[in-house]
């Protein structure tokens, strides 16, 4: 256990949003990855973290709720009106926080948002991101990857470079631009209440290895993730 780190915090709440609806992959959050439902991997990572003190799934779906409870995580039922395709994840976060405050007078110091669609993010990644958050005394931290991409913008039928000079292309290792990968978002509760955003104020980044950063949004993503899972398991032996 990380006793020195535990002294830096009192309550670190992990919120795991799990809507029942998904257009691209029906029942996505409980679709099979390997021989387990997709949500298992994120729940397991939260439970095994040394720095998260409480974990909750927010869902509008009875089947997801049943599976989550069987795995061993608390569930808070989300109203259908804030569980639609266009509903913001911050709305689900606010609902959980308001529910806990009203029912238990429970107010965490830090909230960690974990998306089920990032199944290869594990407890090591979560704890390393939290260490950055605490040691640098930040308001927010998000996980991401180096963004070695050349973006072009169309104007009046022509395209123009948006984030680079085509005559001076930099190498990947020289790039200081990053993309969020959606796996981990950490914020002080006070910052979240002030901004209504998972990322605000003094913000840092936790850079994750790309193989662990796969995000499942499409059927092809799920097929590829099953192949990556085989590689990860093979390397763990």
Q: Give the DSSP letter string of 205-229.
A: EEEPPGGG-----SHHHHHHHHHHH
* Segment 107-130 mean pLDDT: 96
Chain position carrying tokens 């192949």: 227
Residue 173 confidence (pLDDT): 56
Q: Which range among 6-10, 94-98, 153-157, 166-170 shows the weakest confidence by mean pLDDT?
A: 6-10
Chain position carrying tokens 């009203």: 102
Q: Which range among 24-28, 141-145, 191-195, 210-214 shows the weakest confidence by mean pLDDT?
A: 24-28
Note whether 87 and 22 are within 8 A (CB).
no
Chain position carrying tokens 């298992």: 40
Report residue 158's pLDDT band, with 50, 70 and 90 as the boundaries. confident
User: pTM of the full predicted structure?
Assistant: 0.87
Among the four given CATH numbers 3.40.50.720, 3.90.550.10, 3.30.465.10, 3.40.50.9100, the one describing domain 3-144+181-236: 3.90.550.10
pLDDT in tens, 40-99: 999 999 999 999 999 999 999 999 999 999 999 999 999 888 888 788 999 999 999 999
Residue 166 confidence (pLDDT): 72
Comparing CA positions, the residue from 66, 15, 22 lying closest to residue 43 is 15
DSSP letters for 62-118: HHHHHHHHHHT-EEEEPPGGGSSTT--HHHHHHHHHHHHHHHH----SEEEEE-TT-
DSSP letters for 19-67: -S--SSSTTGGGSEETTEEHHHHHHHHHHH-SS--EEEEEES-HHHHHH
Q: Which range among 81-85, 185-189, 197-201 shows the weakest confidence by mean pLDDT?
A: 81-85
Structure tokens at 22: 């998904």
Note whether 153 and 211 are within 8 A (CB).
no
Note whether 178 and 207 are within 8 A (CB).
yes
Show me where the domains of the chain are located: 3-144+181-236
Comparing CA positions, the residue from 20, 8, 34 lying closest to residue 83 is 20
């Amino acid at each position: 256990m990380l006793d020195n780190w535990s002294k830096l915090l009192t309550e670190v709440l992990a919120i795991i949003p799990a809507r029942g609806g998904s257009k691209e992959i029906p029942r996505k959050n409980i679709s099979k990855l390997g021989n387990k439902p997709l949500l298992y991997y994120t729940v397991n990572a939260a439970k095994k973290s040394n720095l998260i003190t409480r974990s909750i799934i927010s869902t509008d779906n009875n089947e997801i709720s049943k599976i989550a409870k069987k795995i061993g995580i608390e569930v808070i039922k989300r109203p259908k009106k804030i569980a639609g395709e266009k509903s913001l994840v911050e709305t689900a976060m606010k609902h959980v926080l308001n529910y806990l405050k009203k029912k238990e007078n429970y107010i965490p110091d830090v909230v960690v948002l974990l998306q089920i669609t990032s199944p290869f993010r594990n407890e090591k990644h979560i704890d390393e991101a939290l260490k950055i958050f605490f040691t640098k005394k930040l308001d927010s931290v998000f996980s991401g990857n180096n963004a070695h991409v050349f973006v072009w913008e169309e104007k009046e039928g022509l395209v123009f470079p948006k984030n680079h000079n085509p005559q001076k292309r930099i190498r990947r290792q020289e790039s200081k631009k990053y993309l969020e990968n959606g796996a981990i978002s950490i914020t002080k509760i006070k910052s979240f209440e002030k901004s209504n955003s998972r990322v605000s104020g003094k913000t840092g980044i936790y850079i994750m290895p790309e193989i662990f950063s796969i995000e499942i949004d499409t059927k092809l993503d799920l097929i590829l993730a099953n192949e990556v899972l085989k590689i990860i398991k093979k390397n763990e032996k």
